[in-house]
Structure 1
Amino acid sequence: MTHAPHPPRLPADFRIVDLFAGPGGLDIAATVMGLESIGVEWDDATRATRKAAGLLTTTEKDVAVLNPCDGQVKNANVLTGGPPCQSFSVAGNRKGHKALEDVKRLATRLVGHEDLLSFQAAWKDVKAETDEMSDERTGLVLQPLRWIMEAELQKEKERYDVVVLEQVPTVLPVWKHYANLLRQAGYAADAHVLHADDFGVPQTRRRAVLIAQWDPENVGRRVEFPRPTHQRYSKGATRLLERHASKRDQEELLFPLPRKERTPLKPWVAMQDVLTERPRDFEVVSNYGSGGDPKNRGRRTSDQPAATITGKVRRNRVFRLKETRSGTKEIGEELERLTFEEAGLLQSFPRRYPWRSTDVAQQIGNAIPPLLSLHILSSALRLGPPSKDLINKLATWEPKHSDGAADEVLTEDA
């Protein structure tokens, strides 16, 4: 049976509530798209950054205390969120694997209830079990599912039209499980791992993303994810001129296009493309993942995307590269370490983003890249790929109002 296509909708039709909103990696993308978005964020330092950026934030800080019918978020018809991931970042070991399986098992108990009282009884039991877990953050990943199911069963609240969840790649099995559960609840849903550098972010970063769209008559249909616009970085590769995707590229796309519809892939965006106030040739040496062994330190040259930006970004060392007589390049003097503005740029935040407080590196490292958010939201809301003008609008965004510290230089000990 062929279903009628959904009529096109405008940004004004969507109102977002963003759970675990962070400093605004998704909200700032929504803002430049003309979408109404309000974030729920518990950390005071992060809330200070959001305030300086002019982003809406609920007065209540705790996702677990709020519910979909609360006045501040009642009108939202899009739910987004990136729950804390520490419990799952070690999914390769027994403890991390158990956390993933626990969440999948408990999530199943939250779906299929015919009335609110039945759901609330199930949630009470689930919450009691998560409260006894060794890491209380494990239960936070269930909060978006609670919100979705509560909105479905509350008489005074319309269900969410669209759901977008994102986290580290090890959470993909949970998102896949959620997608199956949401199909039972009337959503077309799926989850995949997206690469930030595929979309012009000057950094290699992978995120597990779930997209669900209310469509009870067609829950089995394909959910479109954003298509890559840029060449993906790989070790030993060099940036290519703009070209059509190769056979290998096409095989890696979530939904390969017919040859006649393939669009050119742009070269990856390198560090030197955005860190324009530095010497053009430099190298970043990272301790991330080295285990303290200098031989294992990651190295990226300025013609490559940065490695994943984390809360330890200030530990990275930066060196000038100078050309030798033989034409090779060798490390020269050490340069200033990456500033917060530069770390934000590598995450695709606007240059003038008003970072606040004393834990800025952690705020930046925890955020989803705004440019990646722009592509995800455009696809999830079926608004079409973001235009060049919209991407430029994100890059050149500036806060409308200053809180008196716009030119403050924020630093912290390396």
Structure 2
Amino acid sequence: MTHALHPPHLPAHFRIVDLFAGPGGLDIAATIMGLESIGIEWDDATRATRKAAGLLTTTEKDVAVLSACDQQVEDANVLTGGPPCQSFSVAGNRKGHEALEDVKRLATRLIDNEDFASFEAARKEVETETDEMSDERTGLVLQPLRWIMEAKLGRGKPYDVVVLEQVPTVLPVWKHYAELLRRVGYAADAHVLHSEDFGVPQTRRRAVLIAQWDPQNVGRPVEFPRATHQRYSKGAIRLHEQNDAEHDRQGLLFSAPRKGRKPVKPWVAMQDVLTERPRDFEVVSNYGSGGDPKNRGRRTSDQPAATITGKVRRNRVFLLKETKSGNKEIGEELERLTFEEAGLLQSFPRKYPWRSTDVAQQIGNAIPPLLSLHILSSALRLGPPDDDLINKLAAWEPEHPGASADEVLTEDA
């Protein structure tokens, strides 16, 4: 038997506190959904972007200083966040694996407490140990668990829903967290999601944990969002708007629709959102794949972009011209991607008000809002976002528009 969440599944009943909130990839999605969301973000430049977008942000910048019982966030019943996890996210790195084991051990110490006094004692021990570690980010990844236990034992109101996200190599951490959260009353699980599966014009993978308070049924499955679009892979053929039966027989479709599910749509390509550019172009990455700087990644405009990073302005863009034989060859070099275009490839609205310095890094660090829309809808059990909601996200504009980041900044060029 599946137990309903309390309070009822209405957007107005969910209030989010977003740890390590960034420029608003999750919060702008929450706003579109009619959810109240307040973010905690330490970086002044990123806070300037949030302010221009009209997003709520706590006056205190440090996640480690605030707590679930703080007046600014005490009414929140949903916890989200993407804590820095780079200290153990490099596969095969000995120190990274050691840090991973440290996180698992310290996380277990935080969770295994039945009252607030014992939790406080454990928290102080954990903080002392993480302060002595060479990489302070190891302590930051434990912050969501501290908040979860403070809400449960300190204020006496557990979060109804928890959503955490990070790079795919963090999946073992989220799997361990899910196991721990089931001990204290949550149905929880973690999976890697592909952004292009949900209409983001970019290939980007995120490890996502979803936990729902359900102490009588912690072992039940947790439903994650279902793909709505074709997944990109090298050499794959882009679908037509309607599934083609002949291609399906040849195995060229992303997937045949399962019983009771809609067929997936084609992936959203760069040319679908970068409409002010020539239709045919190629983006050449600033870095090489496989460790070879000569083997630079390339994507044509009928494909999703490669993962947008803080170095996006270093990518080069070339016009593609059709030859007499019908093939395409590289032509002249075009203007590099603007901040607005990089934001569009992350599924931010065209008019998103990027502000201050290091805008490319803000964009590259963010979770795609469209992916957030699907994750939140699934985690809160509100049903898949419909086309009206998705279109509303794309058409969003700030209440007080000003000069765009491309007009006022040159630092990231």
TM-score range, shorter chain: over 0.9
How far 1:97 moved relative to its partner?
1.6
Whether the 8 Å CA contact 1:74–1:157 is kept in 2: the answer is no
User: 1:16: which partner in 2?
Assistant: 16
Map 1:8-407 to 2 at 5 A. 9-154=9-154, 156-241=155-240, 242-243=242-243, 259-290=258-289, 293-402=292-401
Tell me the TM-score normalized by structure 1: 0.94
Whether the 8 Å CA contact 1:244–1:264 is kept in 2: the answer is no
* Superimposed CA distance per residue, residues 315-368 of structure 1 (whole angstroms, 9 cap, x where no aligned partner): 100000001111111111001100000000000000000000110000000000
Whether the 8 Å CA contact 2:167–2:205 is kept in 1: the answer is yes
What is the root-mean-square deviation of aligned Cα atoms in Å?
A: 2.2
Q: What runs of 5+ residues in structure 1 fail to find an aligned partner?
A: none
How far 1:41 moved relative to its partner?
0.2
| SS of 2:142 mapped into structure 1 | helix
* Superimposed CA distance per residue, residues 254-281 of structure 1 (whole angstroms, 9 cap, x where no aligned partner): xx98x43121100000000000000100
How far 1:247 moved relative to its partner?
10
Instruction: Give the direction of change, closer, same or farther, for the CA distance of 1:244–1:116 in structure 2 (3 Å limit).
Output: farther
Instruction: Give the direction of change, closer, same or farther, for the CA distance of 1:65–1:5 in structure 2 (3 Å limit).
Output: closer
CA distance in 2, matches of 1:226, 1:104: 27
* Superimposed CA distance per residue, residues 6-56 of structure 1 (whole angstroms, 9 cap, x where no aligned partner): 585110010000000000000000000000000000000000000000000
CA distance in 1, matches of 2:19, 2:244: 38
* Superimposed CA distance per residue, residues 142-194 of structure 1 (whole angstroms, 9 cap, x where no aligned partner): 0000000111101x451100000000000000000000000000000000000
Tell me the TM-score normalized by structure 2: 0.94
CA distance in 2, matches of 1:174, 1:385: 27
| SS of 1:341 mapped into structure 2 | helix
How far 1:290 moved relative to its partner?
4.3
How far 1:231 moved relative to its partner?
0.3
CA distance in 1, matches of 2:378, 2:173: 21
Deviates more, 1:17-26 or 1:90-99: 90-99
CA distance in 2, matches of 1:407, 1:135: 35
Number of corresponding residues: 407
Aligned residue identity for 2:207: A
CA distance in 2, matches of 1:193, 1:244: 28
CA distance in 1, matches of 2:11, 2:357: 35
CA distance in 2, matches of 1:247, 1:193: 28
Deviates more, 1:46-55 or 1:119-128: 119-128
Deviates more, 1:135-144 or 1:375-384: 135-144
Whether the 8 Å CA contact 1:244–1:265 is kept in 2: the answer is no
Instruction: Give the direction of change, closer, same or farther, for the CA distance of 1:412–1:58 in structure 2 (3 Å limit).
Output: same
